[in-house]
Amino acid sequence: MRHVGADLVEKNIVDSQIRVVVVGQGYVGLPLAQGMARAGLSVTGLDLNQDTVSLLNAGSSHIDDLSDSDVREMLDLGYQASDDVSVVSSADVVVICVPTPLGEAGEPDLRAVEGAARSVAKHLSPGCLIILESTTYPGTTDELLLPIFQAEGHRIDEDFYLAFSPERIDPGNATYGLTNTPKVVGGVTPASTEKSVTFYSRFVERVVQTRGSREAETAKLLENTYRHINIALVNEMAKFCKELDIDIWDVINAAATKPFGFQAFYPGPGVGGHCIPIDPNYLSYEVQRKLGHPFRFVQLAQEINNSMPQYIVSRAQDLLNEHKLPLNGSRVLLLGVTYKANISDQRESPATDIADRLAARGCVVSYHDPYVDEWSTESLSLTTVADPVTAAADNDLVILLQAHRGYDLARITSSAKVLFDTRGVTSGADAVRL
């Protein structure tokens, strides 16, 4: 027998009456709320950070991908932010987009997910569809979340529906956003999958249905593990190509001309952001926990990618030695300290490790980044230099860590005594590339 709430939420998901609460208004939740608001849905952004809520309701954005005018547009469309969990009681759909970091021992930290689920369970409206978008290990949705809702007396497929849909936000990507990036969805039951597909189809061009929530959870981890391992491959190749006097960038460009069977990945000073350094560990954790053996590809990739900051410092020492300068006491300018070009996000940026290692070896470290006015590491607290061209001339070594589009690399290279390019964007006889 169908529950009356199920009929109501199904009707609302199809028509314009749908009311959505997005739990977490960060890099994932806020763009998601924007897409829903633009599609005509009634959206409330739930966040426990009162400062974030105040900023949003005042029309100010705190993330790169949305401007203040974007937030003001959302408010005009009826969006509102709240720190009151009781807003869930009037929602037809609740989407959970809270952080899932790693704990001190490298294990998944799902306290935010569990806390959000318990709060939602206490205020659930009849027939509500709950979707988890936070990245996690396979089995979280049906092993952790489902029992939380059932413990409150809610019956799956009658009182509520539950699914997982991995976020695929790529900060700074001007080509692919929420609406034109296919949305993967898997429910803990077929009915939950069906309702989730109907929901996302309101504002996403293509929805991809998986067999269940575990397949959807694992798909996300496969995507980022694939990138993690292939980045490690080219990072390792970059090291031995340097020893063999082979230009790794030329090698990759040549290989990329093959129209099938190859996708170009590029070396760099290390991996950063919330996804690549973290997500593969969720998969590795679950393999070890459930099957009792390690995911060796992930472990090796982690080892290689984590070694890159030390490798950069070693190369910096060699370059200074070639100019009869010691690492200790040399002035080193870092260009670009974010984890990705053309955004201000510094999460897990390898620049932090590189700066601390240089400082520990006695270097006088400075930095420039047009997106980061002030920057702190474990050992440093710095303010960006005013002009990268002038600063390049004042330092013994310049290390390009992130090739922001605003950099005039020709002028910077000409001004610098030595420029070490870790992104392969410079050229010419004087270019010193990774």
pLDDT one-digit tens code per residue, 144-201: 999 999 999 999 999 999 999 999 988 888 899 999 999 999 999 999 999 999 999 9
Domain boundary among 211, 231, 262: 211
Q: Which helix (H) or strand (E) holds 333?
A: strand 331-335
Residue 389 located in a structural domain: yes
Q: Which helix (H) or strand (E) holds 30?
A: helix 29-38
Whether residue 206 sits in one domain with residue 252:
no
pLDDT one-digit tens code per residue, 172-187: 888 999 999 999 999 9
Say whether 148 sits in a helix, a strand or coil: helix
Whether residue 411 sits in one domain with residue 291:
no
Residue 350 located in a structural domain: yes
pTM: 0.90
> How far apart are the C-alpha atoms of 269 and 239, rounded to whole Å?
11
Whether residue 161 sits in one domain with residue 23:
yes
Burial class (CB in 10 A: 0-12, 13-18, 19+), 80: middle
Domain boundary among 180, 211, 242: 211
Please state, rounded to an integer, the average pLDDT across all residues of the chain. Answer: 93
Is 128 annotated in the active site? no
Residue 111 located in a structural domain: yes
Whether residue 66 sits in one domain with residue 173:
yes
Q: Which helix (H) or strand (E) holds 411?
A: helix 409-415
Residue 28 located in a structural domain: yes
Residue 69 carries which side chain, given as an amino acid letter?
S
Instruction: Give the total number of structural domains in the chain.
Output: 3
What CATH number has the domain bearing residue 336?
3.40.50.720
DSSP 8-state class, residue 15: S
Per-residue pLDDT band for 13 (boundaries 50, 70, 90) equals: low
Whether residue 168 sits in one domain with residue 33:
yes
Listed in sequence order, the residues at least 6 apart from 188 whose beta carbon sits closer than 8 Å to its beta carbon are 141, 142, 146, 156, 162, 163, 212, 213
Q: State the average pLDDT over residues 14-18.
A: 68
Cα dihedral 148, 152, 156, 157, rounded to 10, equals: -140
pLDDT one-digit tens code per residue, 191-247: 999 999 999 999 999 999 999 999 999 999 999 999 999 999 999 999 999 999 999
Cα dihedral 322, 328, 329, 333, rounded to 10, equals: 70
Whether residue 340 sits in one domain with residue 393:
yes
Residue 261 pLDDT more than 50?
Answer: yes
Whether residue 329 sits in one domain with residue 288:
no
Residue 151 located in a structural domain: yes
Whether residue 140 sits in one domain with residue 60:
yes
Listed in sequence order, the residues at least 6 apart from 386 whose beta carbon sits closer than 8 Å to its beta carbon are none
Whether residue 322 sits in one domain with residue 300:
no
Residue 216 located in a structural domain: no
Per the structure, the complete domain to which residue 282 belongs is given by 221-304
Residue 392 located in a structural domain: yes
Q: Which residue has the tokens 């002035």?
A: 331
Domain boundary among 304, 319, 354: 304
- Residue 410's pLDDT is what? 94
**Residue 296 backbone dihedrals phi, psi, to 5 degrees:** -65, -35
Compute CA distances 404 → 167, 211, 407, 412, whole Å. 25, 41, 6, 13
What single string gives the DSSP state of each residue in 284-322? HHHHHHHHSS--HHHHHHHHHHHTHHHHHHHHHHHHHHH
Say whether 357 sits in a helix, a strand or coil: helix
- Residue 273's pLDDT is what? 85
Q: State the average pLDDT over residues 113-128.
A: 96
Strand partners, 383: 374
Residue 1 pLDDT more than 80?
Answer: no
Whether residue 418 sits in one domain with residue 369:
yes
CA 36 centroid distance within chain:
20
pLDDT one-digit tens code per residue, 31-61: 999 999 999 999 999 999 999 999 999 999 9
Most confident of 3-17, 111-125, 276-290: 111-125
- Residue 286's pLDDT is what? 81
E-assigned strand segments in 165-231: 183-187, 207-209
pLDDT one-digit tens code per residue, 304-357: 999 999 999 999 999 999 999 999 999 999 999 999 999 999 999 999 999 999
Whether residue 288 sits in one domain with residue 225:
yes
Q: Among the options 97, 128, 241, 275, which is catalytic?
A: 275
Percent of the chain, pLDDT > 70?
96
Residue 168 located in a structural domain: yes
Beta strands at 419-421 and 93-96: parallel, antiparallel or unpaired: unpaired
Whether residue 67 sits in one domain with residue 148:
yes
